[in-house]
Amino acid sequence: MSTLPPYSVRVSSRAKRLQLKVMPPGKVEVVVPKRVNLNSVPAFVAQHHHWLQRHLDKMAAVHVDEPLVPEIIHLPAIAEQWQVECHEGVRACVFSLGEMKLKLLASNEQHACSMLQGWLQRRAKQVLPPWLEQVSAEVGLEFNRVTIRAQRTRWGSCSSRKNINLNRALLFLSPAAVRYLLIHELCHTVHMNHSSRYWRLVASLMPEYKQMEAELRHAMAKIPRWALPDFG
């Protein structure tokens, strides 16, 4: 998967060279001089990826205005909506699937969030591997192992040994976007690159893949802060 953060492009007649700007709360803008070809922008952003990520992380650490612990957790991928109840107490988390309720006892927000993360991890482990199995059988592309992870910059990956990593935050996406990501990684078991042959294979399995790719690119910024590996 592409690991670049989402960014917008502004063409400027005054700018003399390509410029990257990071603006609160974490928006990235590329300023492009009029005479510079827009096709060169993705490579430029990729080249400054590390610098960009550092600034975005710093900015995210400063922007702590919204409450960390949510009242409702919406998981569109599996059409679930959970109510969260949080009380002062000695660390404990109770959840009931029937009632769609999460009851937390925590001494502070960090503890509450780490419990929610543990819960999200378990939920993702319950639903994503069977989903991958199902899509794999459907499209006839086999994989070796699947691991569920918390990742900040990618939705999934596939190794040359056909081991697939999936980001637990996939549960915050639409079912169609998750299906696309699964197909995307499964296609890497055939082509370990993003060559035109690779994209032809993807297109043959999901003709509307470009739309999904765009959704994934924008969705990374919308993951709730409590669900990020280090609480954003």
Would you count residue 212 as binding Zn ion (CB under 5 A)?
no
In the chain, the N- to C-terminal Cα span, in Å, equals: 21
Nearer to Zn ion, 113 or 186 (CB): 186
Nearer to Zn ion, 119 or 198 (CB): 198
Would you count residue 148 as binding Zn ion (CB under 5 A)?
no
How many angstroms separate the CA atoms of 193 and 201, rounded? 12
How many angstroms separate the CA atoms of 227 and 232, rounded? 8
The least distance separating Zn ion from the CB of residue 185, rounded to whole angstroms, comes to 7
The least distance separating Zn ion from the CB of residue 157, rounded to whole angstroms, comes to 7
What is the identity of the amino acid at 105? L
Q: What DSSP line would sit under 83-137, residue for residue?
A: EEEEEESSSEEEEETTTTEEEEEESSHHHHHHHHHHHHHHHHHHHHHHHHHHHHH
Residue closest to Zn ion when measured from CB atoms: 1
The least distance separating Zn ion from the CB of residue 198, rounded to whole angstroms, comes to 8
| Residue whose pair of structure tokens reads 């995307």 in the numeric block | 184
The least distance separating Zn ion from the CB of residue 156, rounded to whole angstroms, comes to 8
Would you count residue 182 as binding Zn ion (CB under 5 A)?
no
Nearer to Zn ion, 103 or 154 (CB): 154
Nearer to Zn ion, 116 or 220 (CB): 220
Query: Parallel, antiparallel, or unpaired for β 27-33 and 72-75?
Result: unpaired
Size of the site for Zn ion (CB under 5 A): 1
Tell me the Ramachandran region of residue 90: left when phi exceeds 0, alpha when psi lies from -120 to 50, beta otherwise: beta
How many angstroms separate the CA atoms of 178 and 167, rounded? 10
Nearer to Zn ion, 1 or 148 (CB): 1
Q: Helix or strand or coil: residue 73?
A: strand
The least distance separating Zn ion from the CB of residue 190, rounded to whole angstroms, comes to 12
| Residues 1-20 close enough to bind Zn ion by CB under 5 A | 1
Nearer to Zn ion, 69 or 186 (CB): 186
The least distance separating Zn ion from the CB of residue 188, rounded to whole angstroms, comes to 6
| Residues 73-92 close enough to bind Zn ion by CB under 5 A | none
Residues near Zn ion, by CB under 5 A? 1
